[in-house]
Amino acid sequence: MRKPVIAGNWKLFKSIAESIALVDGLKPLVEKNRDVEIVVAPVFTALNRVSEALKGSNINLAAQDCFWEEEGAFTGEVAPKLLKDAGCSHVIIGHSERRQYFGETDATVNKKAKAAISAGLTAIVCVGETLEERESGRTFSVIETQIQGSLDGIPAETLANVIIAYEPVWAIGTGKTASDDQAQEVHSFIRGLLSRLSGVTAAENVRILYGGSVKPDNVKGLMGQSDIDGALVGGASLKADSFAAIVNFNA
Ligand code: PGA
Tens of pLDDT, residues 34-89: 999 999 999 999 999 999 999 999 999 999 999 999 999 999 999 999 999 999 99
Q: Which atom of ligand 1 is nearest to the CA of 214?
A: 3
Give the model's confidence band at 112: pLDDT under 50 very low, under 70 low, under 90 confident, else very high. Answer: very high
Q: Which atom of ligand 1 is nearest to the CA of 173?
A: 5
Beta-carbon contacts of 189 under 8 Å, excluding residues fewer than 6 positions away, are 140, 143
Q: Which atom of ligand 1 is nearest to the CA of 211?
A: 6
Asked whether residue 114 carries a pLDDT value surpassing 90, the answer given is: yes
Q: Give mean pLDDT, residues 221-250.
A: 98
Q: Which atom of ligand 1 is nearest to the CA of 171?
A: 5
Distance 186 CA to ligand 1 centre (A): 17
pLDDT of residue 177: 87
Beta-carbon contacts of 85 under 8 Å, excluding residues fewer than 6 positions away, are none
Cα separation, 74 vs 70, whole angstroms: 10
pLDDT of residue 176: 85
61 lines ligand 1 (CB under 6 A): no
* Catalytic residue check, 157: no
H-assigned helices in the chain? 16-30, 47-54, 80-85, 96-101, 106-118, 131-135, 139-151, 180-198, 200-205, 219-223, 240-247
pLDDT of residue 173: 87
Q: Whose CA is nearest to atom 6 of ligand 1?
A: 234
pLDDT of residue 1: 84
Distance 152 CA to ligand 1 centre (A): 26
Mean pLDDT of the chain: 97
Residue 13 DSSP SS3: coil
Asked whether residue 231 carries a pLDDT value surpassing 90, the answer given is: yes
Catalytic residue among 37, 95, 97, 104: 95
Beta-carbon contacts of 218 under 8 Å, excluding residues fewer than 6 positions away, are 177
pLDDT of residue 251: 86
231 lines ligand 1 (CB under 6 A): no
212 lines ligand 1 (CB under 6 A): yes
Q: Give mean pLDDT, residues 5-12.
A: 98
Asked whether residue 33 carries a pLDDT value surpassing 90, the answer given is: yes
* Catalytic residue check, 95: yes
127 lines ligand 1 (CB under 6 A): no
Q: Give mean pLDDT, residues 184-198.
A: 98
Cα separation, 152 vs 207, whole angstroms: 18
Tens of pLDDT, residues 148-189: 999 999 999 999 999 999 999 999 988 888 999 999 999 999
